[in-house]
Amino acid sequence: MLYAIIAAVLIAADQVVKFLVRANIPMWESIPFIPHVMDLTYVQNTGAAFNIFREHTWLLTLISALVAVVIVAVMAKKVVRHRFGLVCLSVVLAGAVGNLIDRLFFGFVTDMFQTTFISFAVFNVADICVVLGGIAFCVYFLFFYDKLEKGETPHGDSASDT
């Protein structure tokens, strides 16, 4: 339940920020957010990172849905049982669902964070969730999965139940 709450809070934050940007910033206009670091710029992205696959929104919608289903299945089957791994998966799930909502309802993803100190793709809260959660999960899987998952019982189960 905790992991569903984490995902829901992050999805809600993503959607609220996107709504506020669409409602208050004209398309391609910018307002300062963190001076000399980041602006809020309203961009409609039909593609993925750096606008790749922009002509294939349907494919990205399908991929987002599949990723969400796989993460939910992995969590439900208790393939990952350690709290850190589950938090990482919850964060990635939130990002996948946040962008999936945009693609389903608008046909594009609302992006808004634009770095001003380097030239980089404009991104959103869901993108941050996918990247940070994905990196954290990779670190967990590569360096800690074997150690932490061995002997770990699923939450709510006790060793005497087996």
Q: Which residues are catalytic?
A: 111, 127
Q: Count other C-beta atoms under 10 Å from residue 52's C-beta.
A: 11
CA 21 – CA 110 distance, rounded (Å): 8
Length of the chain: 162
- The upper half-sphere exposure of residue 101, i.e. CA atoms within 13 Å in the direction of its Cβ, equals 19
Cβ atoms of residues 102 and 109 within 8 Å: yes
